[in-house]
Structure 1
Amino acid sequence: MHVKMDMNDTTRHGSEFFKAAHTNDTISMKALLTSEDFDPYVRGNLEETILHSALFNGSKEIVQLILDRIPSLINEPMTSDMYKGETPMHIAVLKQDVEMVKELLNRGADVINARATGSCFVPGEECQCYYGEYLLSFAACIGNEEIVRTLIKHSAPLDAQDSLGNTVLHVLVTHSDKKQKYSMYDLITSLVSEKQQPSLENIVNNDGYTPLKLAAAEGDLEMFNFLVQKQKKIYWTMGTISYCVYDLTNIDTWGDQKSVLDIITTTRNREESYQTKEDYLRLLGELITIVGALVILISEILYLYKIGPKNYFGNTSIGGPFPLLLVCYSLLIAVAVIMRIHADAGEAVPISFALIIGWCNTIYFARGFKTFGKFSIIIQKLIFGDFMHWCCLVFICIIGFTFAFYLMFQTLNLADYPYFRDFSMTLRTIFELMMGLMDIPLPYNKPTPNNIYIAYVMFMLFVYLLLLNLLIAMMDDTYWRIAPETEELWKIQIAATILLLEQRMPAFLKIRSGVPGRSLGFDDDKWYIGVEEILPETEGGAGISTQRYSQNIRWDVVRRNLGKIINMKDSSESTIL
């Protein structure tokens, strides 16, 4: 790949030097270089020298003439904003002219400080190619192994960092030609000692990225795997079986505030997140989850506003605590989306709680089944009845004992009692003791004041034995008290669910059931449902009233319309009496 410079746009039409260089006119160039009427340091429209022009047009003989006559031009850079810093050596490397590269090196070309920093070579609107500014980076990106070896042999710096802080290895990571950058990376790292290689690969750029981290940030999975494999070490081999170890430096979060794991979880690059069919299926699932959460949130808020908080949360038949869980789930999903947009690594926290609530909501959706519906009602009754009252009592007891233990241990050496070193840790320890998850964490090889053991015994008797068993007894009593009602409550739940769906269903999907009154011969616009009833025989009065009522109905019309209904014709059609 070459940088295109339009040398015809320069002022070489006003300088015989540029004309001779452009046309490879060796005779005219010799005459001009020995003449006193021309300035050999003249520059063109792009602030290039005649040596730049000769190299770009491949005039090797003229290049040698210029170097023999004016050797100071060998390291003279271009000074225009677009090509600032580009030396004749840069042009020779870009043209992959190995012979000329060697010629310039032998004549003292600078390979250490030469930097092309013009807007053409630095990422931006005018950038035509980003090759890392230094000669070695140019050669690596061009992909000429012989030039790379030659430059390194002449002490080209491997650790030189450009304006972005990138070394030649960083630049290769961002290079587009995958096959070429792999071979160049292998070549450069093979030309340094094993001791130098780790320090070279651990240089960070201005963004704090090593080449490995940069591959992760760019979402280049293949390059990332390539670099990880390069760091692999074979520990032992037995036949076809080998035990390999991988270097976790820069990958895990230990001692690194910007590890590969952090970069992967916060990068916005799509290639890191969505590459395979499974990734796109996951994307579809994420979109469905987000849309579903928004629909749930909006519908629940509207329904809450409609029926009021008391009926919304307190009515067991319409869901009890589960609508609140639905709202919390939707809010957590919304928070996770906002955090992902802002590349906040903490998005895992709301997603984790949303997963817990989402699975708990399966109980709500399972209430349509008779067996699960009864348990759903019992759970709601227990949570909002016995359990909440019990939690208030336990909270008071735990806080009281926590303060007691905290004050007792403040008089001791806290290094021997790490589980009671501060109030929050003491509260956690007391909670675990209440649940029976651990024994009291005391160093039994050291004396402990008796008052601590006394407080511990009182805590276990009162909280662990008394209150926990009290909760079990309360729940048992509540269960047997509401068990006979669960059948009826479940039926109410089913009816409430049907009504709930009917209220939230769009109007164009609703179909009215029943039979219009006009189809039955009535002079009204009401709808009816037919029920076959068998009445016991009565004396006199009933027959008279029936006879009077029948006079108001044209039974021939009724029979005709009932025949239509039985034959499943259009029952909604009005009958003209």
Structure 2
Amino acid sequence: ISLVHHLISHGGDVATPRATGLYFQKRRGGLIYFGEHILSFAACGGNKNIISMVIDAGASTRVQDYLGNTVLHILVLQPNKVAACQSIDLIMTRDAELQEPVPLDMVPNLQGLTPMKVAAKKGNIMVFRHLVNKRRLFLWRRGSFSSKLYDLTEIDSWADNMSVLELIVRSHHKEAMLLLEVTPVKQLVSLKWNLYAKHYFRVLMIVYLLYISIFTTCCFYRPLMDMPENYSKPSLDKTISFKTIYIQKPLKESYVTHQDQVRLAGEIVSLLGAVAILLLEVPDIARFGVKRYFGQTALGGPFHVILITFACSVLLLLVFRVCDVQREGDVMAVCLVFCWCNVMFFSRGFQLIGPHVIMVQKIILEDLGRFMWQEFIFSLAFASGTWIIYMTQDPAALPTYVNFPITLYSEYEFGLGMINLPWDPTIYAPPIIYVFLIVFSIIAGILFVNLLIAIMTDTEWKVVKDKDLLWRIQVVSTILMLERKLPRCLWPRFGVCGLKYGLKDKQFCPLITTSVATNQGTTLTLYRYCKYYHSPTY
């Protein structure tokens, strides 16, 4: 402190100097990021006396670095959260003396993020709660009851495309999900979901089920006719018989009868639905980016892949039908699998099964992938050794070892328990084959089965532990999806306008809180949303 005082008293400049070297910039692998200005370095140090001396000497509280970050932005990113909150209080108090039209905590950086939004994006719960509480207003207090107004600016997504709710869903930090337990975020999400979003989402589910039912019916009643005698059959191996008796009708004969006209109406609905799906999905891909949109579980990434693939396949069916391509049955089969699998996306509308769908996604996309890769390596090893022995045998005697690809596939099936032991005791085999079969049976039947159980149990434990948070993040992502796709008239703005209380034109969340003592000697704070604040006569 004395050194800083000595420098300032001898004419040290605290406003102009900037640290702009690469070492001081925010970058991957960087050791420190204290901004560029002297005040930001002093704030990150956490000494209140030094901060006050630097401000008194002429340092501006509104300086911004090359990223547009103010001192508050930089404090949000510091590891010492307690010291950061204390420095934020001091700097905001000194900045309030300037009477600027925009408060310092509302100044955005070049990405359009305020300090509160940066805290939400990084999952900094302590600083986020501190900034929320600084905007909180007390209306009255009666004993253990108190009435408070929480500012919803930057939190509610109604009029902000980069709201706190949006940043929580987009964030890669697990701590960001914990912000959904912070007041008033928790109450806002609960109100939006229970009053509107839940019902809209379930109506959307009914519409989707009706749509895919129409598509499925059109597929089941697709135009077929008896295969003519002069139909050119594909050239097959002599051991394979051709049993097809129906083929697709030409386009001119597909829409003749009344039943065909009814099916045509259903096919038009299917095509319009596919176009609508693409028109709704493509803007979100551009908004979030391909990697984040398809890869993030909370956004329903795998289901978006399924849905877009289904829509494109439906449009491909149109091309096949118009061009009289005889393979439209293959595309229909893919469409039916995808459209009905996508029904699982709507499980997020139900708390009982929503988190478990995330568990299924993680097991399929992560656990099974690792397990199948290890199983394939062992199958490849033993299939190579087995084929070396059986390559001198008669292929007709052992169909499971007729060539190396079939041998590899047979070993893989045997390892997964899909077939019995591929061994014929009536045919001579070298003793080493028995050794291979015994060792592979032990590895596949005992080691790998228990390995898969252990991997899936670990994933299940992680999901069950965080199932409430996973449910909430699914709810928030669903609310944001519906708000983007449905007309604004269907979404009333939540909260109460501050003009009713002589405040600024902002939305506030009115809550009544009470403290209740528990049996463990702790105090539990209960929050209740004040519906009567909406009444004009209040």
In the superposition, the TM-score normalised over structure 2's length comes to: 0.49
- The answer to which structure, 1 or 2, has the higher relative contact order (CA under 8 A, 6+ apart) is 2
Structure of higher CA gyration radius: 1
In the superposition, the TM-score normalised over structure 1's length comes to: 0.46
